[in-house]
Amino acid sequence: SAVISQKPSRDICQRGTSLTIQCQVDSQVTMMFWYRQQPGQSLTLIATANQGSEATYESGFVIDKFPISRPNLTFSTLTVSNMSPEDSSIYLCSVEDRGSQETQYFGPGTRLLVL
Amino acid sequence: DQQVKQNSPSLSVQEGRISILNCDYTNSMFDYFLWYKKYPAEGPTFLISISSIKDKNEDGRFTVFLNKSAKHLSLHIVPSQPGDSAVYFCAASEQGGSEKLVFGKGTKLTVNP
């Protein structure tokens, strides 16, 4: 399975500011995903990030609020822009299983608190 | 509207007994189902999956059952161990595990020694 790291692991931010979360994978993968887990809620897909193309956003999520970069096959960033307390969540990146393509492996997550 | 539902927020069982975690879904287009385990401060860890062409998949102590007519799946853990204590998420996809996953809210399992 892929080894995935995320930075930062946690952060406390002031409203109106932006935070960029990094996701690094130890092997090349085509598809990377960004999820959000709000308190007491399920994981929700924000967007799918493929290298060399624009990210594909799910309903309710827009590029201006959550810009994503995917400069190569092992790295991606998610920015949470103009933050409000409602953005307080755990943000997780995941990658496809290149072998079986039957599952996704998740990073440890970034725990964000917006004051 | 939640497409994947885990109606039991928590479950407590004795070590050595069977743990049964349940999941219901509403989207008939889902054809692939997965279970993840999550410890605090960690990301979800893949446990087991099942395709809609099967009704059972087994991996060691973990077995997943799928009842398509009832739109219901369950995860059985036998025997349960204290290290199994975690939050378990059910997830579903329309096109296999490498596409968008739709998650339930999770069930917190506690296995008592």
pLDDT in tens, A66-89: 999 999 999 999 999 999 999 999
Amino acid present at A49? A
| pLDDT for B18 beyond 90 | yes
Contacts of A109 in chain B (CB under 8 A): 41-43
Nearest Cβ partner of A102 from B89, B96, B100?
A: B96
Please give the pLDDT value at position A30: 86
* CB-based contacts of A90, cutoff 8 Å, min separation 6: A36, A37, A109, A110, A111, A112
Query: Are A92 and B44 inside 8 Å of each other by CB?
Result: yes
Average pLDDT score over residue span A57-68 = 96
Contacts of B107 in chain A (CB under 8 A): none
| Burial annotation A72-98 (CB, 10 A radius, 16+ → b, else e) | ebbebbbebbebeeebbbbbbbbbbbe
Could you tell me which residue, A99 or A22, shows the higher pLDDT? A22
Query: Are A102 and B98 inside 8 Å of each other by CB?
Result: yes
Amino acid present at B6? Q
Q: Which of A14-18, A99-103, B30-34 has the lowest mean pLDDT?
A: A99-103
The confidence band for B1, taking pLDDT boundaries of 50, 70 and 90, is: confident
CA distances A113 to A81, A90, A106, Å, are 13, 9, 20
CA distances A57 to A54, B32, B66, B86, B107, Å, are 9, 22, 30, 30, 28
Nearest Cβ partner of B97 from A40, A104, A106?
A: A104
Contacts of A56 in chain B (CB under 8 A): none
Contact B55, B69 (CB under 8 A): no
